[in-house]
Amino acid sequence: MLYKLFSKEYQRRYLFKKTDSPVMKDYLNEPFQKSKKLISEVDIVALDLETTGLNPQKDEIVSIGLVFISGSGINLDSCWHQLVSTNSALPEASVVIHRITDDQSSTGMNLDEAMPRLLKLLKGKVMLVHNEIIEQGFINKVCQAMYETDFVIPIIDTQLLAKRSLDRHNIPYKAGDLRLFNLRKQFNMPAYKAHNALMDAIATAELFLALVNEIAPGKDACLGDFLS
């Protein structure tokens, strides 16, 4: 679609006019933060989704975790972790990874309840993720299915930031080196339990702050320097 060739703010305004969904009207009603805004003044939501697989077209969200970053600090009081019930039994392979069982999933919130809450938390914010293809892809799929509109938001991707930094310094690396917990090791960060949505969101937030200090030491860079 041609509108996707324009800025995220243009896309927001375009989708706001087109949608009839009250949920999306509310989400899209607030302008996105300007790219010239100092990164220390930007409201950021670090987000992670645990899913049954990597394909948004056939896999499902099983849990959501997020935490807010404001004033270059992580606000742990803002943590939100939510199990999401699925429409079918969880694949054994995915249970081994995220350790969420069918019994646990059955106690989760329905997606039609969880999604409005998630969108309200993301409203007017910048979304921080590690590998935006996953989170953007799954949320977009859900918004298309439930609200008949695309999901748009400014995104900071710590995987992409790390890749840019390594390329800029001509440091060789393998694909696996760009995984969240391998990158944390490079910054001597503690090892957290992987594949828990909230812990991964916090781990991403911490990595981002370390990358900000590495990419722009001693100066307050702008949001646009970090956007995907």
144-175 pLDDT per residue, tens? 999 999 999 999 999 999 999 999 889 999 99
Mean pLDDT of 61-70: 97
Q: Which range among 111-115, 164-168, 214-218 has the greatest average pLDDT?
A: 111-115
Torsional sign, CA 204, 205, 208, 209: negative
Question: Does position 28 have pLDDT exceeding 90, yes or no?
Answer: yes
pTM: 0.95
| Per-residue confidence (pLDDT) for residue 91, from 0 to 100 | 76
Contacts of 26 (CB under 8 A, 6+ apart): 119, 120, 123
Structure tokens at 15: 């989708």
* Beta-sheet strands, E only, within the chain: 44-51, 61-70, 73-83, 126-129, 155-157
Amino acid residing at 181: F
* Domains assigned to the chain: 30-218 (3.30.420.10)
Amino acid residing at 129: V
Question: Does position 102 have pLDDT exceeding 80, yes or no?
Answer: no
Percent of the chain with pLDDT over 90: 82
Structure tokens at 152: 């748009």
